[in-house]
Amino acid sequence: MPVDLESQLRQVMAARDLRPDQIATSALLPVFVPAQSGASGRWRGPHIRLRSPQLGMTWAVMQPGNVMAYVTFEMQAFWDGEEMDWKRQAIRNLAAATNDREGARTLCRPDGRPFAIAFMYLDGLGTSRLLLRQGLEEMFPLGYRVALPERSCGFAFSADVSDDESRSVMDIVDRCHRYGTYPLLPGSYQADDLLPAT
């Protein structure tokens, strides 16, 4: 059942008032954001630059109704003081929020082999699933490219796609970028572009 705007605003305000020791780290997830979000110097939490110069990554805690509360420096300091590997916890949570849940759609060749996968989960973090590299490497053993047109839609497709297959995927990617609620990047990228910048 959709959450109305007033309820969402109440949830956002309630999440802002939580102390770090009240945060459910089981709901902590990684989130891709435009690189300028962290570059402005006004971002109030941990943020890392990625190899793609247009993209950064931060973390959020999902609240009821898929409301996100971004991780603050205060939360980070608390978890670091508790010697918690909260970044690893976020990846574990992401895997748990992905496996055996609806949200992945595959495009297959006539022989049944997938040539692309789209991640569109109810939590609105489809792009975050592109961090689950092991599963994608198993699905696309010849390598793969990624697309992050909009925060809720992440795409991976095999490096050996045909021209027609590539056009099919990129048409969808382009529409998601143009009409999405939280646009990220047009086009496609190497999978390693999502790794931290060195």
Q: What would the mean pLDDT of 9-17 be, rounded to a whole number?
A: 54
Q: What whole-number distance in Å separates Cα of residue 190 and Cα of residue 192?
A: 5
179 burial class (0-12, 13-18, 19+ CB within 10 angstroms)? Answer: exposed
Report, as an integer, the average pLDDT of 27-47. 85
Distance CA 88, CA 105 (A): 26
> Per mean pLDDT, which range of 99-108, 164-173, 186-195 is the poorest?
99-108
The pTM is what?
A: 0.88
* CA dist., res. 50 & res. 60, Å (int): 17
Domain positions in the chain are: 5-96, 104-194
- Does position 5 have pLDDT exceeding 60, yes or no? no
Residue 188's pLDDT is 97
Angstrom distance (rounded) from CA 147 to CA 141:
18
Predicted confidence (pLDDT) at residue 9 exceeds the cutoff of 70 = no
Structure tokens of 30? Answer: 């990684």
Q: Where are the beta strands (DSSP E) in 35-169?
A: 48-49, 55-63, 67-70, 104-108, 114-119, 144-150, 153-158
Ramachandran sector of residue 166 (left: φ over 0; alpha: ψ -120 to 50; beta: rest): alpha
- pLDDT tens for 177-186 read 999 999 999 9
Q: pLDDT at position 2, please?
A: 46
Two tokens at 183? 């646009």
